[in-house]
Structures are given as C-alpha cells and as structure tokens.
Structure 1
C-alpha cells in the first residue's frame, strides 16, 4: 500500500528540475538552499488543509490559556502538586476510553461531521470552566470533572482531524503537513503560556478561560468549511466495539507502529515535568511569574526546530531518527531538572522541545503512511491515547513522586529513565530502528 501511494504521487516537482541556466546570478542557489533547510509550506496550497490549519493554530493558542490556568487554579485551591497530578488522571481515563472509540467512529462516519460535533463539546466544556470561575465555585472536584469532559471531546476530535490530512493532501507532502501543524502548535504553546502568565499576573484567572472560549470559535468555523470526508470503502463499519478490537488486533501485528507508540509512552510518562512547573516556579525560580516561561520552554525549542525543518522530509531512516530524538528529549529534561537558573532550565527544555518535534513528526508520518485508510481513524485513536495519555500519566507520576522524593529527583530522574528505556526498547526490538521510508 505504501508503494502504491507513493506511485500515485510521482513527485512532480522533481520531474520538472532542469540543468541550471548559465547566467551567473546566485539567486536560484539561495532559493534552493532555503527550500532545503526551512519549513516546507507546500501543503498550504490546498484550501481544505489551509482552513483546518488556520482553525487549529488559532484555537490551540487559546487552549494553552486553559492549559496553564487549570493547574494554576488547582494549585492555588489545594497547595498540592499531587492535586495538580490528579488532573492527569481526570484527563487520562476518558481519553483512553474515547480515543479508541472515537477512532472507530472516524472510520465509520463522515470525518468532518465527527470533528464538528466533538469540537462543539470541547467548546461547551470551556464555557463550563469560564462559568465556574465567574461564580467563584472554588471546587477542585469540579475542575477535575470539566477537564474530563474536555478530554472526551479531544479524544473524539483528534482521530478525525488527523485522519483527514492524508485525504486532502498528496502522500509526498504528509511529513511537511505534520511539521507545519506541529510547528504552529509549538508557536501557540510559546505565545499561549506566556500570554496566560501575563494575564494571570495582572487580571483575574477567569480571563484566561474567556480567551480560550472566544478563540475556539475559529475551530468551529474551520470544521464547517471543510469538504465532506466520508469513508472511502463501500463496506462501512459502525464504530462498535468489534471495530475497535479489530483495530487493536491490527496494531498488535504491526511492530513498527507498536514500538513507535511504546517509545513515546516511555518518553512522556518518565520525562514530562509539566505538573512540577507550579512548584518549581514557587520554590526555585522566584514565584509564579516564571510559570509561563516554564510552560513555554518546550514549545520554544519545537518552533525553532520546525522553522529549520526542511531536512526532516529527506530523512529516510525515520525509525532511527525517532529513537535518537527521544533519547535527546530525555537527557535534556534530566539536565533541566538540575538547573537552578530559570534561563538555563528554559534553554535545556527548549532543546528537549526541538527533539520532541522531530519525534512527533516521524511518529505521525509513519502512522499516516503505514496504516490503510480504512484503519487510519482507529490508529489515530490509539495515537491520540498515547500522545495525550502519556503526558497525563507523566503528570500523575511526577506529581505523586514529588511528594516523597522532592522536586529534583522526580524531574531529573524521570528524564534519565526515559532515555534509558528508549535505548533498551530499540535494542531489544529492532523493527522500528530498521524502518525506512521507501
């Protein structure tokens, strides 16, 4: 299937390359160098992808305001990093259940309709966060419930969104599209937390929820403007449990995808320090004014890596590159956990963020090319459970460990463990490191 997809798109750009003109002007060479080393924007030529890209970029910026405001509010209410870690469980349990089901639904019905309905649910949950803030309810349990509802909506919308991408752009541009999406998400994760930090420092925390609710309307507009994306096959699934189990059986027989998920789980569960940021800001970096920089640091590195990512699509041994990126991520996070200077911690987390972008692009691209269309929704559902569930488990691990082992051991030790586990999996199971694009 992979070879057929590639043959359908015979890289027309390469077919039009001719010998250089004898003119001495150096401008064509400069353009060629830039095209090889800067971010590839070819997918934006496709109107459907461009709309979805704009909607995701704007709304994800707003989502970051909530991503900062909820743990800050939880810590303010409880004075406990463990309660901040419980937010991870509140998001994880519905994610694991509904991501798998949402992927089956995306394979059974029009993916545009699934995306629109689930986006509406996420918007309603954000309005709930805004309402509890305005009413000054002050309930940690209510925060957990609203986070769980958001997780349900995300778990259904994400498989639909990502499985739409291979249907609206050529296969040759999938890696570039994933890099664009990941880089813009990184930009949002830089500007969003920094903006949230400034907002929370000068205005009531509830303002952050209002920003998210307002910006999320762009996602609804983008989903409405997408073309219908019905299932390609004539024999449709129903989104029932049998379809979910069929997808899991397929995954169990596909070592490349299975290992890519396993390494990502290790990277996020052991090395994600996010739940420690409020505590680190207070105890190590001088107060809550530092929390925005900590939440933004990983994304800063991802953005820099994305803007210089022209080389990513040319790497053939994508499995080996994915493993190497996860090792760099773990070691960078471990070093950041030892830093007592805010700016050194931000720099080291940024290095980790650059590595995380590389691993994320390759995981997504391998899945979208490797899995057949009739299973892409279900594989994206598993991918969503891994990509979002891993950090949620990481939040729980770090939040609980910090209570008994302290900030430094929890943070630095987790990063080192992630690097060691990634190497061990790559050595014990060679399928992923042998994977190469054809």
Structure 2
C-alpha cells in the first residue's frame, strides 16, 4: 500500500551531529535504557544462582527472555510504523520502570519467586524491541542523510559502552544488595522517559487516515520482502545466525564457571565488563573502517575470527583471560551492526522502517534463545571446556557457510547501491525527497 505523506520531520535541515541537540537527547535517553537492560542481564542470573543454585535455571531464564524478545520483533516493527514513535519510546520506558520497581521491592523484602524473576526478564526483553526500533527509525528525522552512518556508529558505541559498564555495575550493585540493580534500572528508565518527553522534532512522517497501517499478515511481514530484494542485508543477516546462537551460551558458561570457582559477583561483573572494551573500540573506529575497508573483508574476517576465539576460551586459565579473548572477538561486531543499520535507514522508506528492523531482528535472532539454554545445560552436563569447544565447532560451520555466499564475498558499501532502488510496500515515495540519500 502507498502511504499518503503530509509532511514530517525535515532531517535535511538538521544541524551537524556536533550541534544536533535532538540527536543528543535521543542518544542519552536510549543510553540510560540500554545501560539498565545490560545491568539486568547479569543481575537476573546472579539472583537465580543465589536463590536456586543451578546454571540450568539461569539458562531457562535467559531462554525465556530471549524468546520473548524474538516473538516481539515483528509486532514491535509494526507498532513503530503504525503509531507515533515518541509515544512508543515513552510507553516502553514507563512500563519497564514499573516492572523493575516491582522486582526491586520483592528482592528487598527477601521474597523473590523464580517465576517473578523470569516474568520481569520476559517483560524487559519484549519491550526492548519496540523501543530499539523506534529510536533507529527516528534517525532519518533527526540527522542529515550524510550523517546516518556516523549516527549509527555512535549508537553502536552507546551499546558497547553499556555492555562495558553494565555487567560491572550490575555485579557491584548486586554485591551490595540484591535489590539495587533493579531499583537503579527503574530509575534509569524513568529518566529516559523524561528525556524523550523533551523531544519536539517529529520522529516520523505524518500520514492521513488512508495511509494508516492495518493489522494483517501482509503488512506484518512486509519487511521480509524488502530484505529479499536487498542482497547486502541478506548476507549480513545470514552471517549473524551463528554468533547469535552461540554467544549467549558462551557468556553464561563463563559466568557459571567463575561462580563454580568461588569468584565474587563483583569480580565476575568487572571481568565481563572488560570484554566490552573491544566492542567500544570497534564502535568508535567504525566510521573510519567503513570508509577504508571493503565490507566483505570485515564480514568474512569476523566470521572466521569468532570460532577461533571461542575455542581459545575453552583453555583460558581464568575469567580475566576469557575477558581478553572476548574483547578481541567483539571488535568488528559493532562495525557490521553500523553497516546494517545504515543500509536499513537509508534504503528503506519511512513507512517501512519499523517492519524492516523487526524482520531483520527476527531473522538474525531466530536461534538466539537457544544459546543460554545450550550453554547452561552443556556446562552442567559436560563442563565448561567441552561445552565451549562444541560451540566453537558450530561457529566454524557457520563461517564456512557464509564464505560460500556470493553476496557475502561481494558485499558493498550502501553508497554503491543502485540509485533507482524499488520502494517496498508501505514505504513513502523515494524520488524527490530529501531523506533518500
């Protein structure tokens, strides 16, 4: 269907990023939200391990949270295209704040049923998706077209900084009190909502009633059709399947092995946070790397680096050594993520942005919920070393499959696309608009 456009945010008149107040406000709001989410990812399993004592139950929690996020991706993309993106951001922050406050109150009272911890993790994982897609889809309305790649890279830097600080923060807060990580998370979401409320710039094109999306399989699945017509995105999505399956399990195995050795929660969190240094460095280097290197070289290099690193983790003498290896492995991940976001923001029409993100996220994360489950069960049955070697073998098989893809070997920059790209159903007309760089 064609969306009738009646105006909207004029990103062509936006100032450069260094003077772009709307971008900074949106960036800081989501920084608080992401930091809280990452803090929770270590606080949840630590709470389960302390109360119930097995890595398998922590794996079940990780599986449930990941599955909820995965199931939410297509509906989340539809919500971001159907409703006002500012309201989506506000509602998401407020709902997550309420869920975290309830869990903090239970932890403070000393009564935290396993079902309650899993329920809050599920809510957090599900609501994360529309919030994330709404922020990404809003980029084209708050930054200039030529700034999209840099803005996407700064978003990746924010995510990597949260990954760096979040585990340490969660571990230290949990060491002080089991309730503190969740109370801090609730406060962060409230502050995020306050920042979003200050935004005045439109975050999407305005549409009349005839252009409003209606629920249905065709509209819900429209993003997959766009992916099918965009070979660069197809290659990146396929290359992500193996790492998304494996790394949730890898992290849980490292955490459980450190717990078995008697390391404190604060020490575990600090060591895992150090692994985020590589991701943060990669995010900061992404704009320069994407200007100088062929995307195909980055993609294939990453595909073969990851199995080597995971195999090395099986022989790491301790958590600190494991953190160094993880740091090396994640350097190129934000570079690839920035490239993917740039393709999506610049090539998909505004009326399809959310559904493209939802379809891409669903395809990339299809196997992700199995990672913590495989890691937790593998750790309990075979021990950390054999479990890590098995996951490394899976990654090697995936790397071989990616290398065999012609689209992966010939991956190009977004600027090398056909200038007459075909707009997908539900997108706004591309010709003559300032948003189509």
TM-score, normalised by the number of residues in structure 2? 0.83
Instruction: Name the stretch that deviates more: 234-243 or 185-194.
Output: 234-243
CA distance, structure 1, for counterparts of residue 363 and residue 165 of structure 2: 25
Question: Structure 2: which 5+ runs fail to align?
Answer: 1-9, 417-437
Instruction: Name the stretch that deviates more: 146-155 or 330-339.
Output: 330-339
1:365 maps to 2:342: yes
- 1:264 aligns with 240
Aligned length: 399
* Shift in alpha-carbon separation, 1:224–1:310, aligned structure 2, 3 A: same
Contact 1:323–1:433 (CA under 8 A) maintained in structure 2: yes
CA shift, 1:239, in A, is 4.5
- 2:102 aligns with 128
CA distance, structure 2, for counterparts of residue 80 and residue 205 of structure 1: 17
- 2:35 aligns with 61
1:93 maps to 2:67: yes
CA shift, 1:115, in A, is 1.8
5 Å matches for 1:127-276? 127-201=101-175, 203-226=176-199, 227-231=201-205, 235-272=211-248, 273-276=250-253
CA distance, structure 1, for counterparts of residue 16 and residue 365 of structure 2: 28
Match of 1:111 among 78, 82, 85: 85
Question: Structure 1: which 5+ runs fail to align?
Answer: 1-7, 11-40
Match of 1:375 among 328, 352, 364: 352
* Shift in alpha-carbon separation, 1:388–1:118, aligned structure 2, 3 A: farther
Contact 2:223–2:352 (CA under 8 A) maintained in structure 1: yes
1:300 maps to 2:277: yes
1:52 maps to 2:29: no
CA distance, structure 1, for counterparts of residue 59 and residue 16 of structure 2: 40
CA distance, structure 1, for counterparts of residue 278 and residue 185 of structure 2: 23
TM-score, normalised by the number of residues in structure 1? 0.83
Runs ≥4 residues deviating over 6 A: none
CA distance, structure 1, for counterparts of residue 70 and residue 179 of structure 2: 29
- 2:432 aligns with none
Contact 1:65–1:193 (CA under 8 A) maintained in structure 2: yes
CA distance, structure 1, for counterparts of residue 198 and residue 251 of structure 2: 35
CA shift, 1:51, in A, is 0.4
Q: Deviations over 1:352-402 (max 9, x none)?
A: 121222222222223223323222111111334456665433212211222
* Shift in alpha-carbon separation, 1:310–1:425, aligned structure 2, 3 A: closer
CA distance, structure 2, for counterparts of residue 229 and residue 279 of structure 1: 42
CA distance, structure 1, for counterparts of residue 253 and residue 194 of structure 2: 36
Q: Deviations over 1:45-71 (max 9, x none)?
A: 322211011112233223332221111
CA distance, structure 1, for counterparts of residue 228 and residue 399 of structure 2: 19
CA shift, 1:9, in A, is 10
Contact 2:61–2:121 (CA under 8 A) maintained in structure 1: yes
Q: Secondary structure at the match of 1:187?
A: helix
CA shift, 1:277, in A, is 3.2
- 1:325 aligns with 302
CA distance, structure 2, for counterparts of residue 183 and residue 270 of structure 1: 22
The structure that is helix-richer by fraction is: 1
* Shift in alpha-carbon separation, 1:44–1:414, aligned structure 2, 3 A: farther
Match of 2:385 among 408, 412, 421: 408
* Shift in alpha-carbon separation, 1:322–1:64, aligned structure 2, 3 A: same
CA shift, 1:411, in A, is 2.0
- 1:16 aligns with none
- 1:84 aligns with 58
CA shift, 1:410, in A, is 1.5
* Shift in alpha-carbon separation, 1:63–1:133, aligned structure 2, 3 A: same
Contact 1:325–1:355 (CA under 8 A) maintained in structure 2: yes
